A = this chain, B = another copy of it.
Amino acid sequence: MSAGTQPSGGLDFEGWTCPLPLRHTPNVVMGHGGGGAMSAELVESLFVPGYGEAAATELGDAAVLPPVEGRLAFSTDSYVVKPMFFPGGSIGDLAVNGTVNDLAMVGARPLYLSTAYIVAEGTPMEQLGRVAEAVGRAALAAGVRLVTGDTKVVDHGSGDGVYINTAGVGVVPEGVELAASRMRPGDRVIVSGAIGVHGVAVMSCREGLEFGTTVESDSAALHGLVADVLATGGDVRVMRDPTRGGVSATLNELASASGTGVVLDERLLPVPAEVRDACGLLGLDPLQVANEGKLVAVVAAEDTDRVLKTMCAHPLGAEATVIGEVVADHPGVVVARTGIGGTRVMDMPIGEQLPRIC
């Protein structure tokens, strides 16, 4: 590319040094998405240094990767969270952790990620640079390589800062079979820690909705926790990360797909006081609030203690706890036992409480 023939140096934006040498523009312009010199420059001078060690040496249109021994896992998610930066993280962390977690939930070891950006014209280069650095840091932490990518720019008014799509490829170890159809009455439902944290953190800084809270997003890559759990040899039937729609949507999906019922005990739900307060203020159900660093696992009753103990020994599962069980009654329906001894049907959320939470 021609970037190498340009004078070096860069602009300094509030502590973030913009390394773009060719055209000293503080904002993204349409030309950065055109596939010409400016696009090449954005890759070479912003994404590659931002990604750091997590990037493959060549970020081409397609990556050629060594053979993978075993079944492949393949997943994709687009991230449109608003605002892009929130307490405890950014869209960059989410874009890596979310797709890594989707791979982890089928028992896979994540290997490679693609990153594709849709950037609105006028987005400060400094913001895009901070997002790229967050992607790089999260990928390095999760042990995945960023091997291929794409950048498109849309006109101001046809986008909103930065949207990121990540797709991920992983390998599923032999013998691992996780599926809702393997759920049986008597199985226990475990959640790996406090729920509702990510959603409340994002809401707390949403324009027009700001409220004071000390809650930070729980965004994290869960494949290490999953690997530890699978290594116990306990019969884990199925796992899911309760993101959009929260624990409620996840359990309804599992109940529906398995043809079993699920009974929760509301008194056992790990809802932090700050989340409960915020949800009370906003009229939300913590069970329907998005999480980004938690998993729900359905485990054979006899293996529950072993799995729980292993989870609790992992930093990301330290507060893991049993919250309910699988029943033969009311197939497809999730019911919650309330604190005063009654029960209520926990419906699948219809739409969403607050949009663009991931």
Binds B, one of A10-18, A114-122, A128-136, A304-312: A114-122
Question: Cβ of A348: which chain B residues have Cβ within 8 Å of it?
Answer: 1-2, 36-37, 40
**Do A36 and B245 have beta carbons less than 8 Å apart?**
yes
A102 and B78 CA atoms in complex are apart in Å by 20
A106 and B62 CA atoms in complex are apart in Å by 7
A108 and B76 CA atoms in complex are apart in Å by 20
Binds B, one of A147-155, A214-222, A268-276: A147-155
Q: In the complex, which of the residues B70, B115, B290 contacts A67, with contact meaning CB atoms closer than 8 Å?
A: B70
Instruction: Say whether A165 faces chain B, with CB atoms less than 8 Å apart.
Output: yes
The proximity string for A residues 135-179 relative to B, scoring 1 for CB distances below 8 Å and 0 otherwise, is 000000000000111101111011110010101110010000000
Q: In the complex, which of the residues B29, B75, B79, B353 contacts A62, with contact meaning CB atoms closer than 8 Å?
A: B75
Question: Cβ of A209: which chain B residues have Cβ within 8 Å of it?
Answer: none
The proximity string for A residues 61-98 relative to B, scoring 1 for CB distances below 8 Å and 0 otherwise, is 11111111111111111111010000000000000000
Question: Cβ of A152: which chain B residues have Cβ within 8 Å of it?
Answer: 78-80, 356
Instruction: Say whether A355 faces chain B, with CB atoms less than 8 Å apart.
Output: yes
Known pairs A65-B73, A74-B62; A158 contacts B155 (CB<8 A)? no
A64 and B124 CA atoms in complex are apart in Å by 39
Question: Cβ of A74: which chain B residues have Cβ within 8 Å of it?
Answer: 62-63, 65, 112, 114, 147-148, 167, 169
Instruction: Say whether A349 faces chain B, with CB atoms less than 8 Å apart.
Output: yes
A167 and B165 CA atoms in complex are apart in Å by 9
**Do B31 and A76 have beta carbons less than 8 Å apart?**
no
Number of copies of this chain that the complex holds: 2
Known pairs A67-B68, A71-B67, A103-B62; A78 contacts B118 (CB<8 A)? yes
- 29 interchain pairs, CB-CB under 8 A: A2-B348, A30-B351, A32-B351, A33-B244, A33-B355, A34-B244, A35-B243, A35-B352, A36-B244, A36-B349, A61-B77, A61-B105, A62-B73, A62-B103, A63-B74, A64-B71, A64-B106, A65-B74, A66-B71, A67-B71, A68-B72, A72-B169, A76-B114, A76-B167, A78-B117, A78-B118, A114-B167, A159-B159, A169-B169
18 new A-B contacts, CB < 8 A, other than A36-B352, A62-B73, are A29-B351, A33-B352, A34-B350, A35-B249, A36-B348, A36-B350, A37-B348, A62-B75, A62-B108, A63-B73, A64-B108, A64-B172, A65-B72, A65-B74, A74-B169, A78-B116, A163-B163, A165-B165
Task: Write the residues of chain A forming the contact surface with B, with a CB cutoff of 8 angstroms.
Answer: 1-2, 29-40, 61-80, 82, 102-103, 105-106, 108, 112, 114-118, 147-150, 152-155, 157-160, 163, 165, 167-169, 172, 240, 243-245, 249, 252-253, 256, 290, 348-353, 355-356
